[in-house]
Amino acid sequence: MTSFKGETIHSETIIATLKKTLQLKEICRNISYQKIIDQAIESREITVTPEEIQAEADHIRYENRLFRSADTFAWLNDQLVTPEEWEAGIRDRLLTKKLAQTLFAKEADRFFTENQREFDQVLLYRIVVPYQQLAQEIAYQIQEDEISFYEAAHLYDSDDQRRFQCGYEGKLYRWNLKPELSALVFSATPGQVIGPIEMDQASHLLLVEEFIPAEFTPERQQEILDRMFNEWLTTELNYLIHT
């Protein structure tokens, strides 16, 4: 039972709402994951100190501009969370992070070394139009400096979001692209227009703005750790379900 804006909400109502909105399965899965995590933490005797919890709490307060204790209490109250529950959540997250490091830190380092090429990134722009003839005409206009790639994307791309972003597709890893497309993109010269390429019942023009060589940064390590940890959790849960 909880209270929201002065109205009491019973647990049965919360569960019924989660069922109706198809969110209950995800909640149950997360509860199962947490049980697996708790057991693994206990078996490995992983702990966090009060100082570590306080440091993380201070970081969260800074990010949310909660510079006074009163601001923090008001924010927690708005989230329907007590200070003790907030601290418990911070503790769980720190313990989970330490567990992931314990399980996979060395494997993450090795995985990056063995697959470093796959972590190369590209700043990619794309124009997608329905017809090859139109794509060829756009490519010709770009080559003749009648229009820039970005202007053409803003005028012609069939996707509203990409058109608004002047063709910006994003900062992509090799694995984000289909193998045949990846080979073309990563062998191109920055500023070179690639295509037209017929793919997914449309015609594509691509532009590489910049290549970003792979570096084993803390963020990259955490990204690999998160992936390995999530795969481990899924495997552990499937094992429990089928035993």
Same domain, 26 and 90: yes
Per-residue confidence (pLDDT) for residue 118, from 0 to 100: 85
Q: Where does residue 159 rank: exposed (0-12), middle (13-18), buried (19+ CB within 10 A)? A: middle
Same domain, 162 and 71: no
Q: How many domains does the chain have?
A: 2
Calculate mean pLDDT across residues 122-145: 93
Calculate mean pLDDT across residues 63-89: 94
Measured CA to CA, the distance from residue 82 to residue 175 in angstroms comes to 43
Same domain, 81 and 159: no
The residue whose two tokens read 């060589």 is 213
Q: Give per-residue pLDDT as tens, 185-224.
A: 999 999 989 989 998 889 999 999 999 998 888 888 998 9
% pLDDT > 90, the chain: 73
Same domain, 96 and 125: no
Range of 19's domain? 2-102
pLDDT at 232 over 80: yes
DSSP 169: E
Per-residue confidence (pLDDT) for residue 197, from 0 to 100: 92
Per-residue confidence (pLDDT) for residue 121, from 0 to 100: 92
144 and 169 Cβ atoms separated by less than 8 Å: no
CATH number, domain at 132?
3.10.50.40
Same domain, 80 and 127: no
* Domain end point (choices 46, 74, 102): 102
94 and 48 Cβ atoms separated by less than 8 Å: yes
Examine residue 110 and state whether it is found in any structural domain, yes or no: no
Q: Fill in the amino acid letter for 31.
A: I
